[in-house]
A and B are shown apart, each in its own frame.
Chain A
Amino acid sequence: MTAAATIVRTWSCIVFVAALAIAGECLIAAAMRKLGDLDTLRSGTGLRSYLGPVRAVLSSPIFLIGALCMALNFFAMLFTLSVVDLSLAAPAIGSLTYVGNAIAAKLFLHENVDRRRWLATSFLAVGVVLVSR
């Protein structure tokens, strides 16, 4: 394989894994936001009282699609690690996921990503690269 083809394969793997993670987290966040505070879904006492929230979460189609994305993300990550070095894949995927999450949260979840949160996101992206190298 030529050097250019290797670079294209490496980065398409990394972007694909990060995109699945972003899709999964945003869908799960959207599902949980729709359900609202889980405490209000509890009834009864003891461990049984958690049945209500668990049932509500598991019967949410948005959550299920999000969880599917997370599962695909896991297997895509396994595949990526077989063709890309961990020392490149882990920091690149981690930091792309955080930046992508902030952009997707603003675009699709309409979260108020103010200057403080952008600053936090860029610190996270750089920090994750430095820590996981």
Chain B
Amino acid sequence: MMRTIATVVRRDLLLAFRQRADVANTLLFFVVVVTMVPLGVGPELNTLRTIAPGIVWVAALLAAILSLNRLFANDYADGTLEQMLLAGEPLPVIVLAKAAAHWLVTGLPITGMAVLLAVMFDLDAASTVILIASLALGTPALSLIGAVGAALTLGLRGGGVLITLLVLPLYVPVLIFGAGAVETAAGGLSPQGHLLLLGAMSLGATVLAPWAIAAALRISLE
């Protein structure tokens, strides 16, 4: 099982590397959305400091959704997905590996980039650490939950809009606790509860989402 996971992750990372432009677009989108906000809201430092975590989190959600159709659509079009469905290894294991690879090329770099964006919004060191921790703990849930939506809308006309409508409501709890973590800390309370809940969501998604993704893929490929 570990060998299958390693193989699929390696394959998807290699493909992501060969299609670097696609991956870079997602990250660029994330940065551009975040940098647009000060231009719209105005350069009032205190306002920006307060809204920064929320902005970063919303941009992370949008960037995650934007990258979702890359997850299965290409494999579906060239028939490799069909082969994965007929593999001797359980499909939930394979899709878990695919979601992990997706997180490595979106969630992880987004988390890293947030350090720079935090500086841009003049967040203090303590808030930055909490923001990064919340992203690191929460973004795996985004990849996993999003993969369920991507699997369900596979091969549908207008799947791009549908996936947004399907997945965004499911992202709400992650957004609330992700952005809430920094605000709680700013209010003088411990952000631990928020971070633990984020971690729990990601762990829960790791256990449950692969089964849902596998079932959705089998339906989509009927």
Do they bind each other?
Answer: no
